[in-house]
Amino acid sequence: MAAQQNHRAGGSIIDSLGEEIVRIVTPVSICMFLVVILVAVLNSGSSSSPPTINTIATIAYSETTSDSTWDKLKGALLNALVFVVVVTAVTFLLVLLFYFRCTHFLKLYMGFSSFIVLLFLGGEIALFLIRKFSVPIDCFTFLVLLFNFAAVGVFAVFLSKMAIIVTQGYLVAIGMLVAYWFTLLPEWTTWVLLVALALYDLAAVLLPVGPLRLLVELAISRDEDIPALVYEARPVINHDQGSREYEGQRRAWRRRRESGNDSESDHNIVTSDAEVTAPLIQNRVSSAADGQESSVASTDNSFLEGIGLGSSGAIKLGLGDFIFYSVLVGRAAMYDFMTVYACYLAIIAGLGVTLMLLALYQQALPALPVSIAFGVLFYFLTRLLLEEFVVQCSLNLVMF
Amino acid sequence: MTVAAGIGYALLALGPSLALFVTVISKKPFLILTVLSSTLLWLVSLIVLSGFWRPFLPLNSAASWPFAVLIITSVAFQEGLRLLFWKVYKRLEDMLDAFADRVSKPRLYPTDKMLIALAGGLGHGAAHAVFFCLSVLTPAFGPATFFADQCPKLPFFLVSSIIALAFATIHTFSMVIAFNGYSDGNKLDQLFVPVVHLVAGMVTLINFTTGGCSIGIPILYIITILTLLHCGKMVWGKLTENQIRL
């Protein structure tokens, strides 16, 4: 036993391999889990339709249950088209503003929209929960608490002098709130929208005229960061500089490994985010449809390139990815929990595949398409094939 | 019956797996990824099986022989996939060893290999528990409960959780036995796992008769304990033989 312990002191490679991936998978899982809990709690029992929202995503067509399938499909396609067009337009506007160096304005806008999301969307959801659980709280206390929550959130997202766990927590909270609102859209619209956004993400990041690619290239050429909401998986190493401005810059890292040999890797940290807020259409329910297209960026890794299990540097995932993964899982939760598990595994698998491709191609990649494709595929496979099979078996207590 | 009962059933089926996960697996990120991949693999195998069997469903639940065929085909397919999993793991092991050489770290220890096998088995076991037990557990969170004909004395959810616990344990540890069997070339171990899997699956057919679960479940647990003992003996042998060599 003692001899083995001496060996152990050196540590084994499986101790630290894959750490970055786990650090990204954990917050994504937490966000999805919270959205599923919210959906399960708030949508259970009420056979009446959940509060329908009127946003830009339903401007073209409001789905009702009495329409025929073909009508629903057409309406959903129209909705998705309108939404994607609006998102594209606003992203191009963002590129234009960035080109004219209105960075300060963009930052202020980012802070403002986080405040709106936390205050209004968070407040609405808190009201739903209060109504559901009959929490005895008066409106003044509630307003004070809500305002403080939103204000701290804005600071956490803006300034990076906060403990990183607070920033990460608030980013997950913002993702969760926006995702829950998206799940309130009608069913067909949600699925078609997810697919449309995945295709848009693919086009925007990979095509040479895509807005996100232009944004990324501008940021690289100027060595600046892009003002956007991005989840970073590990703390930035130069704490004294503090601010998030460093994220977009090229920098060379040097990291001493435990065994003592230097591993110097050039890290091109490229983030590409565009934050979009679509204007309110009706003020009956105040919900700002936040669409945040994003791509996954990672650092260069000279070691296990094929697998992408590098062990230095940070992986960054845009908040839009969090949101749309959670929307998919939340929608699956509205059907049954089996689809939730299947879609969760599919999305994590898609994320893993994307990270591997990232390590392979070393450029900014869209994080939505692979995961959404797997997620939608597994949802329909589970709903059509798996459910019948498993229910048959387990109802007869036949298992293998 | 209530949220408390629902959580109770879920923990009954998944408790030991969760404990194993938190104490052993969550410390090493690579093992977490292994768990996730093997869960995904099990899910894919289940989807393929359900795709194959979909035209024949719903089966007439009075007769038990269609289910026997179902179990035989499913177990055969999953054991085939286990072999595939082993081949993929072999290649991964070579890559990891090459990586370890490059960064001047020690190669994979035998305990590391067994930990990876355990993580793979845990993925399978957790997937089984989740898809066969947790996904039908949703009504248990409501106000009532459900009794099945086959087992009139216990609530259906309780029986389902108990069976799921047995199977999760079997899956978890038979992966360790299987990987050790394949790497050592030990035919006994290699055959032990599919046989145990098949027998356990067939034993659940006893549940078809009324009151059958009072016979079926104890037999299932005997099989589980057998698997545990065999795995423990094998692992103990491996650990002590390594110590002597060192």
Average pLDDT over residues A23-48: 84
pLDDT digits (tens, 9 = 90+) for A336-385: 889 999 999 999 999 999 988 888 887 778 889 999 999 999 999 999 99
pTM (two decimals): 0.83
Please write the tens of the pLDDT for every residue from A268-315: 222 222 333 322 222 222 232 333 333 333 333 333 332 222 333 567
Q: What is the ipTM of this complex?
A: 0.91
Angle between helices A69-99 and A103-116 (to 10 degrees): 140
Residue among A322, A29, A295, A333 at smallest CA distance from B39: A29
Residue A254 φ then ψ, to 5° = -135, 125
- The partner residues of A266 in beta bridges, in order of sequence, read A252
What is the pLDDT, as a whole number, of residue B123? 95
Q: What is the DSSP letter of A280?
A: P
Chain B residues within an 8 Å CB radius of A16:
29
Three-class DSSP category at A232: strand
Which tokens is A265 given?
């890797």
Does A393 contact B at CB distance below 8 Å? yes
pLDDT tens digits along A183-229: 988 888 899 999 999 999 999 888 888 888 888 888 888 877 777 77
Mean pLDDT of A44-49: 52
Q: How confident is the model at residue A178 (pLDDT cuts 50, 70, 90)?
A: very high
CB of B164 within 8 A of CB of B16?
no
Identify whether A290 is a catalytic site residue: no
CA dist A75 and A64 (Å) reads: 10
User: Annotated catalytic residue: which of A201, A225, A273, A290?
Assistant: A201
Beta carbons of B120 and B89 less than 8 angstroms apart: yes
The predicted-structure confidence for A155-176, as pLDDT tens digits, reads as follows 888 776 788 889 899 999 999 9
- The per-residue b/e assignment along A29-41, b for 16 or more CB within 10 angstroms, e otherwise, is bbbbebbbebbbe
Q: What residue of B is the nearest CA neighbor of A4? A: B243
pLDDT at A270: 25
Q: Decide: residue A357, CB within 10 A, 0-12 exposed, 13-18 middle, 19+ buried.
A: middle
pLDDT at A158: 78
**Which of B24, B25, B32, B33 is the best residue to mutate to test the A interface, defined by the most A CB atoms within 10 Å of its own CB?**
B33
Q: Is B46 on the interface with A (CB under 8 A)?
A: yes
> A5 at the B interface (CB within 8 A)?
no
Q: Residue B55's closest chain A neighbor by CA? A: A385
- Residues in contact with A11: Cβ distance below 8 Å, sequence separation at least 6, in sequence order: A258, B105, B106
Q: Between residues 7 and 26 of chain A, which touch chain B (CB distance below 8 Å)?
A: 7, 10-19, 21-23, 25
Residue of A12, A388, A400 with shortest CB distance to B57? A388
Query: What pLDDT does residue A332 have?
Result: 93
pLDDT at A302: 32
Which chain B residues are within 8 Å of A301, Cβ to Cβ?
none
Residue B37 or residue A50, greater confidence: B37
For B115-169, the pLDDT digits (tens) are 999 999 999 999 999 999 988 888 888 788 888 877 888 888 999 999 999 999 9
Which residue type sits at A398?
Answer: V
Chain A positions in Cβ-Cβ contact with residue B9 (cut-off 8 Å): none
Do A226 and A212 form a contact (C-beta atoms < 8 A)?
Answer: no
CB-nearest partner of A386 from B50, B75, B205? B50
Q: Is B165 on the interface with A (CB under 8 A)?
A: no
**Long-range interactions of B189-195: CB distance < 8 A, separation 24+:** B189/B234, B192/B230, B193/B79, B193/B82, B194/B75, B194/B79
SS (HEC) of chain B: CCHHHHHHHHHHHHHHHHHHHHHHHCCCHHHHHHHHHHHHHHHHHHHHHHHHHHHHCCCCCCCCHHHHHHHHHHHHHHHHHHHHHHHHHHHHHHHHHHHHHHCCCCCCCHHHHHHHHHHHHHHHHHHHHHHHHHHHCHHHHCCCCCCCCCCCCCCHHHHHHHHHHHHHHHHHHHHHHHHHHHHHCCHHHHHHHHHHHHHHHHHHHHHHCCCCHHHHHHHHHHHHHHHHHHHHHHHHHHHHHHHHHC
Catalytic status, residue A321? yes
Q: Which amino acid, one-letter code, is at B13?
A: A
Using CA atoms, how far apart are residues B216 and A34, in angstroms rounded to an integer?
A: 38
The SS3 call for residue A217 is helix
More confident residue, A238 or B183: B183
